[in-house]
Structure 1
Amino acid sequence: MKQSKPSDATAPVRKRLSPEVRRSEIVRAAITLFSESGFDGSTRDVARRAGITQPLLYRYFPNKQSLIEAVYSEVFLETWDARWDAMLQDRTRPVRDRFQSFYEAYTETVFQPVWLRLWYFALLRDAEVHDWYREVVQEQILKPLVRERRMELDQGQDFAVTAQELEVPWLLHGGLLNYGLRQQVAGRLDTESRTRVIGEALDMFMLHSADRPPRPAE
């Protein structure tokens, strides 16, 4: 027997969204997918999550790389708070105090399941995304930390930050992210212990920088 077509009253209604809203929905779907399965997730799966066809997705993002770049921008760049720059440059406060306040605010923002999983997947599987993130961290956090500490110790300011000077700051920053990931996996994000761990990591850097004056790169 021939089946009757569903009436207009029961047929699903496709949402008509503005291009800006549609693009945002696609990016959010990609963020959710990539945080669950890594950057190997397909555009077909992203489209399914967003409730659209793959050809429609390609009208907004011509290829997967452009979609990954949009995810990177929203997760790793747009979470940066412009007030943190002023905090890091406030020379009325000791360097340790400034960076303690910064890392407390920064980790409050990034110690979220989606952020931490995307960072972890980038570290494991997507060298390009992780390199983008490393560049931002190096320029906006770690080099300022080294320069401000040099000034506090009345050391030379007339040469570039060397790769050697960045090794311990990277241990500090990477160690805090790994701490956050461990806490997330264990299901306990304790603000008090996080504050203590940040302080201990900064103490490590302060002692190291005081004992080893910087040298210009040869």
Structure 2
Amino acid sequence: MSTQEQHNSSGAPVPIRRRLSPAARRDEIVSAAVELFAESGFDGSTRDVARGAGITQPLLYRYFPNKESLIEAVYARVFLESWDPAWDDILLDRSLSVRDRFQRFYEAYTESIFRPVWLRLWHFASLRDAEVYSWYKEVVQEQILKPLVRERRIELGCDQDFLVTPVELEAPWLLHGGLLNYGWAQQVAGNDDGDGRAEAIRQMLEMYMLFTEARYATPS
């Protein structure tokens, strides 16, 4: 993000601050942090974030008292606000098979998240920031993977227990993680093949359906 700068008596650049409301200023700081962290990872400094937002570092700390609070805001912006509430209805629409509704969901979900900024931040979090990645994993489990397990159990005529065990989550994580790795590989290769993405989703869901049919199906 480019900003205008002036220089102090020592020759150091000082950003020219634009007048913004507190909400707009906070939003601009988060946008600058998203851009920086997507390029350099969560090791990027608050000084560089402030420079990207066109403000001083002390002003940044008036909005975010420490780097951890800024990272939390970036996490909320990228990983939470990208969730479309309409997806909840798709996941629980029992007029469709589990396979069909999760196909619809994952096509919409990956269309939304298979973007350079999202994928780069997910990649950096998975490699270097255990806390951010743990936040992300918790949301994925609660919003996507546990509903998948529960709905598949019901479809196969098994118990309708709300509890989902860690063992039951292993296969859904392979499915979800495989799709994210597919998206990352496509991003690195510079590809954006919607048909290929839909087919990859179909194949991974097929493997999950076959696996769960063997695990959960009631013996005849």
Both structures adopt the same fold (TM-score exceeding 0.5): yes
What residue number does 1:118 align with?
A: 121
1:31 aligns with 2:34: yes
Aligned length: 203
Q: 1:18 aligns with which of 17, 21, 24?
A: 21
After superposing on structure 2, the runs of 4+ consecutive aligned residues of structure 1 that deviate more than 2 Å are none
Match of 1:175, as an amino acid?
G
What residue number does 1:41 align with?
A: 44
Identity of aligned residues (%): 70
What residue number does 1:65 align with?
A: 68
What residue number does 1:137 align with?
A: 140
What residue number does 1:80 align with?
A: 83
Q: 2:103 aligns with which of 100, 103, 106?
A: 100
What residue number does 1:177 align with?
A: 180
Q: Which has the larger radius of gyration?
A: 1
Distance in 2 separating the partners of 1:186 and 1:13: 39
Q: Report the aligned-residue RMSD.
A: 1.1
Q: Work out whether residues 37 and 43 of structure 2, in 8 Å CA contact, stay in contact via their aligned partners in 1.
A: yes
Q: 1:159 deviation in Å?
A: 5.4
Q: 1:13 deviation in Å?
A: 6.0
Which digits, 9 at most, give the CA deviation of each residue in 1:42-100, with x for residues without a partner? 10010011110000000000000000000000000000000000010100100000000
What residue number does 1:5 align with?
A: none
The equivalences for 1:180-195 within 5 A come to: 180-195=183-198
1:54 aligns with 2:50: no
Distance in 1 separating the partners of 2:100 and 2:148: 12
What residue number does 1:127 align with?
A: 130
What residue number does 1:167 align with?
A: 170
Match of 1:201, as an amino acid?
M
Distance in 2 separating the partners of 1:124 and 1:40: 12
Match of 1:49, as an amino acid?
G
Which digits, 9 at most, give the CA deviation of each residue in 1:99-132, with x for residues without a partner? 0000000000000000000000000000000000
In the alignment, structure 2 segments of 5+ residues that lack a partner are 1-14
TM-score (norm 2): 0.90
TM-score (norm 1): 0.91
